[in-house]
Structure 1
C-alpha cells in the first residue's frame, strides 16, 4: 500500500466561531465509520485540534488553532507548512466582527502565506438575523487589496447542520492542487550554497611532494614552482620541506583565502622565518628565510656561582649559644613544673571536694539510719507496752473470774 501525500490546511478564526464544529462535520462527512463527538458539547479550543481525511491519493490534515487573543500570536508558527487556509467567521456576532477583521487582515498580510488559497466561511447561516455573505464582504472590503492574486472564496456555511461543508472542502482541494502545480520549486537558501572556486596556493620552493599529498584533499589546484638546482640548493630545499611539514593546514588555508598580503610575518620558527609576498594573480607566494647557525644556536649557559661558605662561629659565640640554650631549657623546665604544680593543686582540690561530698553523704546516711533505728525502737517499745497492758488486763480479768467462781461456790455450798 502506497503512502498518500499529506497536505496541511489551517482552520483559523476567533474563538466560538465554529471552527471545531466545522472540523468534526468534515471528518464525519469524509471519513467512513467515523463517530464524531456530540456537537452540542464542543467547548472553546485551548491549543489546537488535528483531524485528517483521505480524498483520493491525497490526505488532508486540518489544524484547528485556538482563536483566543493570547493564542493568535501562535498562528504564524504554522504558516510555513500550510497549503491552504480556512477562515471561519461567526455571522451572528456582529459586535466582534471588527476583531475578526483585524485578525484576518493580520493573517493575510504574512508573506509566508502569499499565494496560498483562502476559503472564508460565513458560519452559522442557519440562525435567524445573521449577517449575510454580502454583508461580510462589505465589512471586509478593506482587506481586498491584501488578498492579492490568490484564490479566495467567501461561502455561506452552517457547521452545525453541515450546510456548505462539502462544497468548501472540494473547493479547497481543487485550488491548493492548482497552487502547488503552478508554483516552481524554491531554490536552496544562500547559506547552503558553497563557493565554486577556491584560490590556488603557490609555494615558491622545490621538491614539496609530501606537502602536496597532505594538502590535496583541502586545496585544489596546488602549484609548485621549481627554482635552481645543486647540492647546496638540495640541502636548502630539504630544510624547507622539513619546516613546511610543521606548518599547520589551517594557517595555509587562511593564507589562501586572505585577499590582501599580510603585513606581518606569516610564520616564525626557532631557526627560520616565513613571510607572505605580494598577492599574485594566480595565488599567494611565501618567502622562507633560514637563520644563520650563530643566530639559531642558543647561547651557552653561564657557569653558576658557588654559594658562599658559612663562617665558623667563635668559642665565645658558642658559649653564648650554650648559655642561651640552657636558659631556654630552664625556662621550659620551670614552666613545665609550674604546670605540674597547678595540675596537682587542681587534683587535690577535686579530691578534697570529693571527700567532703563523701563525708556529707556518710553523715547524712548515718543520721537517717540512727533516726530510723530510733523510730524502730520506739515502735517496738510501744508494741511491748501494749502487750504488757493487755496481759495485765487479762490477768485481772482472770483473777476476777476466779473470785466470782469461788464466791459462787461458797454461796451454793
Structure 2
C-alpha cells in the first residue's frame, strides 16, 4: 500500500523538464548570465562576476518556472571546445545564444557560429533567444546584433526568434528572457515534448 501511495504521489508531483542550451563565443558572458538566473530563481547571491572563470565543459543549473523544471546548460565557447556542443543538441528544447554586444571585433565570428548552429538538423525548429549581452557597457550596441539576425532571416525559417538586451551583471532583461523562452518551449511542446522524469 505504501508503495502505491508513494508512486501516486510521485506521479502527481512530477514536473516536466525542459533543456535550454546556452551557447556563444567565449567571453560572451554566458556563465555570468547563468549565475544571475540562479540568483533570480533562488534569491541566493551567485558567484561574484570577478570570480567567474571561463567554462571548460558544461555548467548546469536547474530552476523552476511556472511549475516546470528548466535546465540551463552553459557550454564552453572556446573554439576548441565547440565540438562538445553537439552532444547536447538532441535533448534540447531551446537555445539561448549570447553575444557580447560591446565586442564589435568578434561580431562576425559570433554570426558565423550562430549561422552554423541554425543549420543543424537536431536544432531545427527550436526557439532561439539571441541575448545581446553586456548591455550595461557603454560600447554595447543592440542595433548591430538585430541587423545581424535580420541578415539571417531567410535561414531561420519559421523558428521563433527574439533578440533581447541582457546584462548578467545588472540583471537587465533576464526575467523577460526566461519568460519568453518558457512560453515558446510550451508552445513548441507538441514538436519537442518535455523530458518526463522516471518515477
Q: TM-score, normalised by structure 1?
A: 0.43
The aligned counterpart of 1:195 is none
The aligned counterpart of 2:28 is 17
The aligned counterpart of 1:139 is 148
Note the residue ranges of structure 2 that are not aligned, 5 or more in a row: 1-8, 194-199
The aligned counterpart of 1:172 is 181
Partner SS for 2:188: helix
Partner SS for 1:130: coil
The aligned counterpart of 1:156 is 165
Match of 1:27 among 19, 24, 38: 38
Partner SS for 1:115: coil
Q: CA shift at 1:74, angstroms?
A: 1.6
Q: CA shift at 1:141, angstroms?
A: 3.3
Larger radius of gyration: 1
Equivalent-residue separation in structure 1 for 2:96 and 2:192 (angstroms):
24
Equivalent-residue separation in structure 1 for 2:171 and 2:162 (angstroms):
18
Alignment of 1:87-166 (within 5 A): 87-131=97-141, 133-166=142-175
Higher relative contact order (CA 8 A, sep 6+): 2
Equivalent-residue separation in structure 1 for 2:153 and 2:83 (angstroms):
23
Equivalent-residue separation in structure 1 for 2:68 and 2:148 (angstroms):
35
Equivalent-residue separation in structure 1 for 2:115 and 2:148 (angstroms):
12
2:93 and 2:192 in contact (8 A); partners too = no
Q: CA shift at 1:140, angstroms?
A: 3.6
Equivalent-residue separation in structure 1 for 2:73 and 2:138 (angstroms):
30
Match of 2:95 among 85, 94, 109: 85
Provide closer, same or farther for how the CA distance between residues 184 and 22 of structure 1 changes in structure 2, counting only shifts above 3 A.
closer
Match of 1:4 among 11, 15, 38: 15
Provide closer, same or farther for how the CA distance between residues 114 and 42 of structure 1 changes in structure 2, counting only shifts above 3 A.
same
Q: CA shift at 1:56, angstroms?
A: 2.7
Q: CA shift at 1:67, angstroms?
A: 0.1
Q: TM-score, normalised by structure 2?
A: 0.87
| Count of residues paired in the alignment | 182
Q: CA shift at 1:3, angstroms?
A: 2.1
Provide closer, same or farther for how the CA distance between residues 152 and 184 of structure 1 changes in structure 2, counting only shifts above 3 A.
closer
More helix by proportion, 1 or 2?
A: 1
4+ residue runs of structure 1 moved beyond 4 angstroms?
none
Note the residue ranges of structure 1 that are not aligned, 5 or more in a row: 186-413
